[in-house]
Each structure stands twice: as structure tokens, then as C-alpha cells.
Amino acid sequence: MLFGFAQAVACADAGAYLISPFVGRILDWYKANSPEGTDLSGANDPGVVSVSRIFNYYKQNNFNTVVMGASFRNAEEIRQLAGCDRLTISPTLITELANTQLPLDRKLFAENPVSADDLAENSEAAFRWNMNEDAMATEKLAEGIRNFTKDQLTLEAQLSVLLK
């Protein structure tokens, strides 16, 4: 579960093999917390912006971590992230992409990354500060952990019934 740049910096520094930023869940938060009329579509989609930033930062700084965008809400998010290392795409969105005549032009280039971010400091203090400054990442991470815990408890209860 990855929602913010501070998490991505920590994952890269730790040598993580793969990260999976949740594009649609980032968008969900911004839709709920942005003023009405804010353009959150296409290249302005906050999930797209986040994954693009992380991808370019990793490639510019030669991190080998695979960036795999996930949790898409619409096909345009996928079009905007064409060229990302990996994308997990639902069957519904795969079908939509297959049935459209819209171009699927590459937007991200590992061999020529465009990043405004210099190599970031990765200390516990910097991580805590940057996470605290990113309300979306903090709230979505906490929500995700609570949901995983709830699902784990449900699974354990179901297994205990089956194993009796």
C-alpha cells in the first residue's frame, strides 16, 4: 500500500523490489477533499501525478524498484501512465481500452525520466515530517491498514469455523 512520495522514497532506499501506488484511491481522496470544480482528470489526476512523480524519481536516481500502478478508476488514468514499469488493470478497463480508437501513447520513459525531485533525504525524521505533511497519504494508509486488519480478522474467523 503506497500513497505518498515519502513512502516511495523510503521503499527505494530500503531496496524494495516492487511498489504499487493506488492511483484510484488517491483520486478518491482528492475528489472528497478538493473544492468543487477542481479539475482532477487526465494529466491533472492526483493519482497519475503521484505515480508519474515516483516513476521519474526512481528512474532518474537509478533505483531498480519496479513501479506498478494499481487501483484504476478509469481508462484515462491508464493512458496517462503508459510506459510505467507495470500496471494492474481490471478486465473491465482492459476491455474498454481494447474497444476504443483512442491512442495509447507512451507518457513515461525510463530511459529519459523527467523529474524535478533531487535525491531525497531518507531519515526517520524526514519520513515522519513528510508523511505528516501529506494528509492524503497519512489518511489513506491508516484506512488501508484498518481495512486489512478487518479482512484478516474476518478470514481468521472463517478459517476457525472450517477447521473445527
Contact 76, 46 (CB under 8 A): no
Strand order across the 18-19 sheet: 18-19, 66-69, 86-87
Contact 109, 90 (CB under 8 A): no
- Note the pLDDT tens digit of each residue in 6-55: 999 999 999 999 999 999 999 999 999 999 999 999 999 999 999 999 99
What domain range is 153 assigned to? 5-162
**Number of domains within the chain:** 1
Q: What is the pTM of this model?
A: 0.91
pLDDT at 164: 84
pLDDT for residue 122: 86
For 117, the grid coordinates are: 525531485
67: CATH: 3.20.20.70
pLDDT greater than 90 at residue 120: no
C-alpha 40/C-alpha 49 separation (Å) is: 10
Q: In this predicted model, what pLDDT tens digit does every residue of 52-104 receive, in sequence order?
A: 999 999 999 999 999 999 999 999 999 999 999 999 999 999 999 999 999 89
